[in-house]
Chains A and B, each alone.
Chain A
Amino acid sequence: MLKDITLGQYFPGDTVIHSLDPRTKLIMTVVYIVVLFIAGSWVSYGLVAAFLVLCVALSKIRLKTILSGLKPLILIMVLTGILNLFYQKGERLLVDWWIFHIYLEGIVKAFFMITRILLLITGTLLLTYTTAPIRLTDGLESLMNPLKKLRVPVHELAMMMSIALRFIPTLIEETDKIMSAQKARGADFDSGGLMRKAKSLLPLLIPLFVGAFRRADELAVAMESRCYHGGQGRTRMKQLVMSARDWTALSAGALLTAAVITLDAFGL
């Protein structure tokens, strides 16, 4: 079922990771990604991986949940692995058959790249799994605030993003419902050639669009009737506050970066 897609979904909880300020988590995620790309040796890689494992353990997100989030990306990982396996030239030829040449270096590189994707995706999954979408956009808006000076409509962008995020589950649910209803009238969404398949989507897409426009209209009226007029002078019910644990987390991030850079400098 469509609803079972977990990519980008939030799982409520009350762990340390959940309670961190969204800004901390956003910064940490960016730092983590950068560090992941700096790390060039097995030791520094191990360090980054250990850091991630620690965060996952602290968040109490089940391993199964993370695995199901990784599932849609298996194809990409396999492809990356295969490409690296065959295209990496080296000195130690292991397999030499027809047009296939596999070097030891290729195997190592493939393993390296797959691990990198795995760590990258798991890190970003952890962010969305432990942060409510609304908090995430609040954090983004706050971090991008300086851009307001350059006349970037930060508040409007953040509001658009919150609304989009808010309606993704609704639209998925709606899609599920309309699909079921048309199937009840014998609609067949899976069989037939490309043209037939595209045509069979009309009974789904038309009601979906009509519904989305209706919702947009209702939302606009609801916002206006509560005097929404953009970000000017708007206050928040839940203020973002950095606490001691946020500073601890950021320090840990800085420490990790320093460690990885040092390790790489010494060629470890």
Chain B
Amino acid sequence: MLAPIIQTENLCHVYSEGTPFEHAALKDVNFAAEKGEFIGIIGHTGSGKSTLVQHLNGLLKPTSGRVLFEGEDIHSSRETTRRIRFRVGLVFQYPEYQLFEETVYKDIAFGPKNMKLSEAEIDRRVRDAARFAGIPEEFLDKSPFELSGGQKRRAAIAGVIAMQPDVLILDEPTAGLDPKGREEIIANITDYHKARNSTIIFITHSMEDIARLADRLVVFNDGQIAMDGTPREVFSRAGELSQIGLDVPAVTRVMKRLRELGLDVDESCFTIEQAEASILRLKEGGVSGHA
């Protein structure tokens, strides 16, 4: 098995340590991601998802434990932290509130500029990133404040993609968008994933989205990893999921109900296609049974 590109070892994080507001947000978390993997992180609000991903690019320092990037402790020196920050791109929740430049172009160029790349390289990366994020050329000279909500969000995502990170982390990138905007952003991210074979870590509350996107799901509960496995494995534990305040995709719920009604369908389906296949199989089986 490959060595993970990024991993945490017994990671603990306590906010406001030593004050009455002390709060342990991460408790002994061992998380690992392979190169090229598409990982979904789910968990109820306040379960520690955002805290975890802010450790992965060194924005937060572990209270105890380590974070390793390609086997190297990311806090071994200031230079290391800075260097790794460009290789682990983090798109925060509601990233559109960080736009600040006069033009979309300049805002996307902020990251590459901090990397001290040449003008030509910066230009190439900005145009590349804009294409991946689905921003038309003519928008690049507009002020980011003129864009619509969904367009702003994509401009902000482009700002991180422009650094061409090996690990791209997105914290609830589709929160608060309309269905069309959500679909577009998801398509942009899968394009980037395929083109660069980079690792994607995707935090979301949408079970439907994550079920069809992720190779692996990591479920957080109360600062700890509660489950870790393929979507099929995780969604087959619907009872445990609902105990920690999570749901399974609607398709899975329908299949489970069908099974309860006495139909012999596969209840671990989580996409329409799988469900369709399973029901059709049943029908064929039924027809042959009659004969």
Contact = CB atoms under 8 A, between A and B. Distances in A.
A207 B16 contact: no
Contact of B82 (A6, A68, A186, A203): A186
A170 B145 CA distance: 22
Nearest to B89: A184
Interface string B108-127: 00110011000000000000
Contact of A65 (B20, B82, B115): B20
Contacts, number: 64
Interface in B87-104: 89-90, 92, 95, 97-100
Nearest to A187: B114
Interface string A1-27: 001101000010000000000000000
B82, B85, B97, most chain A CB atoms within 10 A: B97
Does more than half of chain A's interface fall in helix, strand or loop, or is it mixed?
helix
A186 B97 contact: no
A62 B82 CA distance: 38
B85 A184 contact: yes
B86 to A, nearest CB: 6
Contact of A68 (B19, B99, B145): B19
B219 interface: no
Contacts of B147: none
A210 B92 CA distance: 18
Contact of A4 (B19, B20, B85, B90): B19
A71 interface: no
A65 to B, nearest CB: 7
Contact of B20 (A3, A62, A182, A202): A62
Contacts of A211: 97
A180 B97 contact: no
B95 A202 contact: no
Interface residues of B, number: 27
Interface in A87-119: none
Nearest to B94: A177
Contact of B92 (A11, A62, A177): A177
A185 B16 contact: no
Interface string A52-76: 0000000000101100100000000
B218 interface: no
B40 interface: no
Given A3-B16, A181-B92, A203-B110, A186 B100 contact: no
Interface string A175-218: 00110111111111000000000000011001100110000000
Nearest to B113: A186
Given A184-B92, A185-B163, A4 B114 contact: no
B115 A186 contact: yes
Interface in B1-46: 15-16, 18-20
A186 B95 contact: no
**Size class of the contact patch on chain A:** 20 to 34
A180 B114 contact: no
A183 B20 contact: no
A70 to B, nearest CB: 14
A184 B57 contact: yes
B230 interface: no
A211 B15 CA distance: 25
A181 B95 CA distance: 8
B97 A185 contact: no
Contacts of B250: none
B160 interface: yes
B59 interface: yes
B59 A180 contact: yes
B236 interface: no
B176 to A, nearest CB: 14
Nearest to A6: B19
B231 interface: no
A17 to B, nearest CB: 15
A6 B21 CA distance: 11
Contact of B100 (A65, A184, A202): A202
Given A178-B98, A183-B59, A11 B114 contact: no
Nearest to A12: B20
Contacts of B82: 186
20 contacts: A3-B15, A4-B19, A6-B19, A68-B19, A177-B92, A177-B97, A180-B59, A183-B59, A184-B57, A184-B85, A184-B160, A185-B159, A186-B82, A186-B111, A187-B110, A203-B100, A207-B99, A207-B100, A210-B97, A210-B145
Interface of B: 15-16, 18-20, 54, 57, 59, 82, 85-86, 89-90, 92, 95, 97-100, 110-111, 114-115, 145, 159-160, 163
Interface of A: 3-4, 6, 11, 62, 64-65, 68, 177-178, 180-188, 202-203, 206-207, 210-211
Pairs of residues from A and B, 6 with the lowest C-beta to C-beta distance, nearest first:
A186-B114, A206-B100, A185-B111, A181-B98, A184-B90, A181-B92
